[in-house]
């Protein structure tokens, strides 16, 4: 009997540790284990009383099988329950995440960001979010009535940009604060092991992008990178300004990182500071130290990160102010010069931007993105050869920078090196086959070379990779127009308009396709829409005038051409079209004035000579008409315009016949 009791105790005892952790194992499994222990005990006891020696071994063997089954069931349920759904993770993460607003002694906001509870009344965040502040608040997401006051700092880790904050709900009323703690306690998030997270693993980010408190997104860990000897997790989950300091969670709802954003090559990159650094900081947490602006020295790194936040919000002047402060504190801060150059580029301060990139390269000659950024600015200044040289250097330093191949390809297009540009786009696609911009730019280049089917194929891939890529539909439609596939082109323009209904240029393009199908009224409706969106749209007035002229609404067409000329007085075609409309109204003298202006602006405008010659002929000015027809014939022969050549010959012959 003692043997049986011990065996029964083993099974029931085996269940107890798991059953006590009710958060992990369901009560059903625990009850199964307890029941199996009791069943085996009583069943075995009964059998022993009948045939003790004979049945004991058999029953123990059967009990072992049951025990193994129970263990396997237990482990499988444990594993299944530990992985949570995105909805479950979001609910817990957002409940623990707070919006931080930091102010100086004057009450001016000096920073904002995210944080999350790691213990009751203890919030973790990025150090740069709070640095330099004299006071601050932490508001629970989705609960406008729960706003904690930041009592102070319990620990900081400057190397890893981390801080722990003590927060209180009613700082002046401890009794009320205690009531709140009991009724509405904070919900800390568990910290996971960041060393165990693998590349490709799904992660979730909670935060507060400015103006959008309480956002939740997902992505994957794309790489592990070392920055200044400290490990960082790069991820595809977006981190917008205001989300820095928020939790990054694994599929078990454990925090494996603290989010922050940086800028490289003009693009936002999303990182997480591994949670194991935060675990170490928690151990070091001490008595709370008050936020005192006077005793804090804001680091160059904090000004740099604040500059990045302003840059991401497109506040370029404010970004430059922060980068200036970073550089004053750290004169060899290469990345600060680099990013200040980016901000200046967007403010069109091109030469000042180049000076910043020169300084960056002087400090850090192997920084590929500095050459790339300088090349982009030079391209904007039309210095394409010099820009290509910078892109060459960037690629030499970092051959896998696919965006630089795109930039170099664009520069080569401006140098009329279309084949070489396509080679660059091919390389970008080889490095990153899912980069839709590479296919798009290659499609444009192929279209410029008259390779229409190949261009459409590239636009097809672009759209397959990004079904909302408006310009891909527009360019594909434009290529189809060149191929006289007007209905197919209209279909592409329709899709572009559904995605972005406020693009005036798309209505103009669709209107042009309709005019080619002689759908003049429908085309005019599109031009009207374009003009409502942009009252100074020269092309909309111009093509609407052509459509009206085709409907013989010559006076209305002239009004449209008048508007075009006011908007663009150097557009020769507008004078020519207005002149032909006046000629159709038999106003030959004023039509001749318009043809004169057309020829002044464009001396080889063969049709302007023909039209002016016809106007002269209508006024019986035969010598002038003959002279214009002869000039038109000469130009037509030079440029190979057979239609104009035929018209000029026939006009001359007619004048000779009725001389």
- Domains annotated for the chain, with CATH where assigned, are 2-82 (no CATH), 89-297 (2.40.10.120), 298-363 (1.25.40.10), 576-659 (1.25.40.10)
pLDDT of residue 654: 87
Residue 14 CB contacts under 8 Å (≥ 6 apart), including other chains: 33, 67, 70, 71
Instruction: Read off the pLDDT band of 184 (50, 70, 90).
Output: low
pLDDT exceeding 70 applies to what percent of the chain?
A: 81
Residue 194 CB contacts under 8 Å (≥ 6 apart), including other chains: 233, 256, 257, 274, 275, 276, 277
Mean pLDDT of the chain: 85
Query: Count of residues for the chain?
Result: 659
Most confident of 61-75, 91-105, 619-633: 619-633
Per the rule left: phi > 0, alpha: psi between -120 and 50, beta: everything else, 518 is: left
Q: Which two tokens stand for residue 198?
A: 């693998």
Question: Does the pLDDT at position 53 exceed 70?
Answer: no
Most confident of 60-64, 177-181, 313-317: 313-317
Render pLDDT for 562-619 as a digit per residue (tens, 0 to 9): 999 999 999 999 999 999 999 999 999 999 999 999 999 999 999 999 999 999 999 9
Residue 563, judged by CB atoms within 10 A of its CB (0-12, 13-18, 19+), counts as buried
CA–CA separation, 192 and 208 (whole Å): 22
Q: What is the DSSP annotation of 514-566?
A: HHHTT-HHHHHHHHHHHHHH-TT-HHHHHHHHHHHHHTT-HHHHHHHHHHHHH
Question: Does the pLDDT at position 27 exceed 70?
Answer: no
CA-angle at 475, arms to 472 and 480, nearest 5°: 120
Question: Does the pLDDT at position 23 exceed 70?
Answer: no
More reliable by pLDDT, 69 or 9: 69
More reliable by pLDDT, 49 or 218: 218
pLDDT of residue 658: 64
Question: Does the pLDDT at position 11 exceed 50?
Answer: no
Question: Does the pLDDT at position 49 exceed 50?
Answer: no
DSSP 191: B
Of 139, 199, 138, 200, nearest to 163 (Cα)? 138
Q: Which two tokens stand for residue 467?
A: 């079904």
pLDDT of residue 60: 47
CA–CA separation, 323 and 356 (whole Å): 11
More reliable by pLDDT, 503 or 208: 503
Alpha-helical regions (H) of 97-219: 127-130, 174-183
End-to-end CA distance of the chain: 138
User: Cα dist. 493→92, 172, 279, 316, 466 in Å?
Assistant: 44, 63, 55, 34, 16
Contact between 96 and 117 (Cβ < 8 Å)? yes
CA–CA separation, 42 and 48 (whole Å): 10
Q: Which residues of 512-545 are buried (b: 16+ CB within 10 A; e: fewer)?
A: bbbbeeebbeebbbbbebbbebbeebbbbbbbbb
pLDDT of residue 35: 47
């Amino acid at each position: 009997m003692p043997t049986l009791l011990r065996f029964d105790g083993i099974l029931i005892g085996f269940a107890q540790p798991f059953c006590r952790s009710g958060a992990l194992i369901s009560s059903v499994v625990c009850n199964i284990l307890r029941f199996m222990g009791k069943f085996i005990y009583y069943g075995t006891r009964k059998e022993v009383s009948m045939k003790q020696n004979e049945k004991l071994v058999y029953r123990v063997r059967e009990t072992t099988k049951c025990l193994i089954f129970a263990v396997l069931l237990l482990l499988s349920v444990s594993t299944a329950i530990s992985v949570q759904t995105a909805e479950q993770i979001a609910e817990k993460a957002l409940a623990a995440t707070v919006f931080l607003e930091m102010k100086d002694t004057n009450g001016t906001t000096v920073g904002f960001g995210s944080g999350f509870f790691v213990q009751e009344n203890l919030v973790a965040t990025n150090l740069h979010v709070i640095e330099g502040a004299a006071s601050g608040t932490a508001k629970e997401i989705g609960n406008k009535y729960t706003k904690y006051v930041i009592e102070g700092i319990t620990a900081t880790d400057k190397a890893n940009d981390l801080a722990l904050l003590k927060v209180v709900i009613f700082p002046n009323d401890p009794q009320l604060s205690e009531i709140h703690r009991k009724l509405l306690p904070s919900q800390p998030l568990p910290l996971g092991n960041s060393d165990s997270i693998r590349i490709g693993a799904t992660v979730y980010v909670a935060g507060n992008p400015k103006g959008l408190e309480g956002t939740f997104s997902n992505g994957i860990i794309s790489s592990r990178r070392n920055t200044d000897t400290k490990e960082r997790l790069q991820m595809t989950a977006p981190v917008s300004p205001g989300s820095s300091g928020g939790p990054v969670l694994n599929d078990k709802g454990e925090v494996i990182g603290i989010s922050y954003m940086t800028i490289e090559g003009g693009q936002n990159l999303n990182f997480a500071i591994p949670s194991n650094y935060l675990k170490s900081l928690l151990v070091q947490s001490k008595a709370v130290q008050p936020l005192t602006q006077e005793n804090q020295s804001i680091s160059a790194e904090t000004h740099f990160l604040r500059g990045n936040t302003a840059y991401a919000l497109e506040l370029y002047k404010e970004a430059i102010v922060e980068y200036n402060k970073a550089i004053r504190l750290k004169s060899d801060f290469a990345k600060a010069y680099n990013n200040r150059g980016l901000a200046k580029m967007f403010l069109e301060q091109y030469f000042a931007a180049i000076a910043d990139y020169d300084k960056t390269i002087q400090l850090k000659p192997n920084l590929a993105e500095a050459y790339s950024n300088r090349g982009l600015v030079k391209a904007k200044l039309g210095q394409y050869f010099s820009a290509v040289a910078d892109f060459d250097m960037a690629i030499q330093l970092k051959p896998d920078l696919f965006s630089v191949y795109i930039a170099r390809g664009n520069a080569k297009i401006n140098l009329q090196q279309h084949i070489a540009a396509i080679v660059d786009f091919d390389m970008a696609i080889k490095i990153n086959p899912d980069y839709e911009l590479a296919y798009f730019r290659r499609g444009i280049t192929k279209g410029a070379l008259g390779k229409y089917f190949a261009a459409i194929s590239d636009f097809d891939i672009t759209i397959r990779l990004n079904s909302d890529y408006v310009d891909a539909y527009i360019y594909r439609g434009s290529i189809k127009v060149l191929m006289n596939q007007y209905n197919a082109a209209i279909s592409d323009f329709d899709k572009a308009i559904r995605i972005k209904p406020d693009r005036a240029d798309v209505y103009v393009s669709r209107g042009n396709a309709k005019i080619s199908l002689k759908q003049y009224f429908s085309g005019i409706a599109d031009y009207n829409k374009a003009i409502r969106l942009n009252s100074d749209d020269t092309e909309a007035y111009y093509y609407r005038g052509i459509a009206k002229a085709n409907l013989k609404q010559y006076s209305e067409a002239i009004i449209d051409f008048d508007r075009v000329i006011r908007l663009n007085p150097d557009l020769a075609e507008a004078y020519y079209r207005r002149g032909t409309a006046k000629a159709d109204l038999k106003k030959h003298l004023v039509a001749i004035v318009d043809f004169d202006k057309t020829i002044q602006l464009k001396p080889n405008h063969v049709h302007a000579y023909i039209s002016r010659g016809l106007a002269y002929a209508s006024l019986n000015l035969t010598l002038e008409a003959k002279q214009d027809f002869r000039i038109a014939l000469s130009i037509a022969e030079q440029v190979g315009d057979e239609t104009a050549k035929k018209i000029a010959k026939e006009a001359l012959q007619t004048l000779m016949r009725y001389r």
